[in-house]
Amino acid sequence: MKIATVEAIPYEIGMRKPLLFASGQMTKADHVLVRITTDDGIVGIADVPPRPYTYGETQRSVVAVIETLFAPLLVGADPFARNVIGAGMARTVGNFAAKGAVDIALWDIIGKSVDKSVHQLLGGFTPSVRVSHMVGFAPAQEMVDEALMYREKYGINSFKVKVGRRPVSLDVDACIALREALGRDTDLYLDANRGWSASEALGVARACAGLNLLYLEEPCDAHELLGRKRLVTESPLTIMADESVPTLGDVARELIDGGASAISIKTARSGFTESQKILGLCEGLGVDVMMGNQIDSMLGSAATVAFGAAFELSSRRAAELSNFLEFGDFLITEPLVIEDGRVVAPQNPGLGVTLDDDKLATYRLDKD
Ligand code: MUC
Ligand code: MG
C-alpha cells in the first residue's frame, strides 16, 4: 500500500459565539482539512487548527507547507512508515499543527487498513473520558452562566477558565464567582495564555489559593526563565505548560528547567506519534498531564478522545473536548456526543468518523 494523493483543503466555519482569551480570539474556524488517499482507496483525514497567535501558523501557511514540503515526502510512501515520514517532516522546523494532522491522517489510514480503531491500536484503556469545558473572557456573571449551562445541558463538571486580563481583579473576581456558583466539587483551573508577568501570576495564584483550583496554565511567557522557576516553587497552584511545550524536546526542557510541573498534551500539535512519546516521558517522571484543546473542531476532538481514552494517565483528568459545540457546523457524519459529562472514543476503524462530502463542498474555500 502506498500513498497516492495528499490534499490540504482550506475551509471556514463560523463560530456561534466568539472565544476570547489573552493571546487572541476566534470568531470563525479557518481550518484546513488534510485528506490522504492510498493507491488501494483508503482515505485518512485530520483537521488542522492554525493558531497564528500561538505557533505562527496560518490557514495559508498550512496549505503551503503541506503541498510544497510534506506532500512530496508522502506520495509514494508506505503509510505505516510513520517514523520515516516523521523524520522527513522534522527537517522543517515548527509547523506543529500541519505535522500533527499528517500523523493523525496516517493513523486513520493504518486503523482502516487493519480494521481497528485508533483508540484500540493505541491501547484502548477506557471507553470514554470526562469532558472539561473552556470558558472564554466575559464579565464574571456571563462566565458563570456559561458554566452552569454546560453543566445543566451536558453534565460537564470541569471548567478551564481563561484568565490573563488586566487588572487581574477581573479574573480573580470571575474565579470567586465561578467557585461560589459551581460549589466545591467542580474541577476548576486557569489558563492565562502568557497574559501576565510572573509577579502578576503569583499575585493571582495567592489571591485564589483558597478556591481549590487544579492548575494555572501558561501564566507568563516561558522564556522568562527565572520568573517561571519562581512561580513553580512559590505558587500555591501547580503550573501547567501548554504552548511552551509543542514537542517532546520542549516538554523535557520545561520540566528539567523547572518552568512547569504539569503538561497539556494536544494531539492537534503533536499528532498521535509524538503525543505518545510526551505521555511516556511524563509517566516516567510522575508528571500530571491533561488532554488540551487547540479550539478543535469535532473532527479534531475525535482525535483527542481517541488518544486521551487510550491510556491510564491521559484519562485521569477531564479532557478538553467541548469547544466544537461552539462551531456553527461540523464536517463529519457521526457527531461526537457529550452525555453525563463524558465522550465515548469512536470504535469504528481508524479515527472512527466519516467525512461529510456535502459539508466539505459547502465550506471549502478553494472551489467556486
Ligand atoms: C489553550 O489551551 O490555550 C487558545 C489558543 C490555543 O492555541 O489554544 C487555545 C486553548
Ligand atoms: Mg492553554
pLDDT under 70: residue ranges of the chain: 368
Which CATH architecture is the domain 120-344 placed in? Alpha-Beta Barrel (3.20)
- In degrees and rounded to multiples of 5, residue 276 shows phi and psi of -65, -40
The residue whose CA has the least distance to atom 4 of ligand 1 is: 294
Per-residue cell: 25: 480570539
Per-residue cell: 159: 471548567
Indicate which ligand has the atom closest to the C-alpha of 23. 1
Contact 306, 345 (CB under 8 A): yes
Supply the pLDDT for residue 367.
80
Tell me which of 295, 297, 304, 317 to substitute to probe ligand 1's pocket, judged by most ligand atoms within 8 Å of the beta carbon. 295
**Rounded-to-integer distance, Cα 278 and Cα 267, Å:** 11
* 289 CA distance to ligand 2 middle (Å): 13
CA distances from 89 to 71, 97, 145 (A): 10, 12, 44
217 is catalytic: yes
294 is catalytic: yes
Count of all residues that appear for the chain in the document: 368
Contact 93, 282 (CB under 8 A): no
Where do the domains of the chain lie? Answer: 3-115+357-363, 120-344
187 is catalytic: no
State which fold the 3-115+357-363 domain adopts.
Enolase-like; domain 1 (3.30.390)
Do domains 3-115+357-363 and 120-344 share one topology? The answer is no
HEC sequence for 147-182 = HHHHHHHHCCCEEEEECCCCCCHHHHHHHHHHHHHH
Identify which of 135, 134, 206 has the alpha carbon closest to the alpha carbon of residue 172: 206
Supply the pLDDT for residue 342.
98
DSSP state of 211: G
In the chain, the N- to C-terminal Cα span, in Å, equals 33
Supply the pLDDT for residue 360.
98
Supply the pLDDT for residue 368.
65
Supply the pLDDT for residue 335.
93
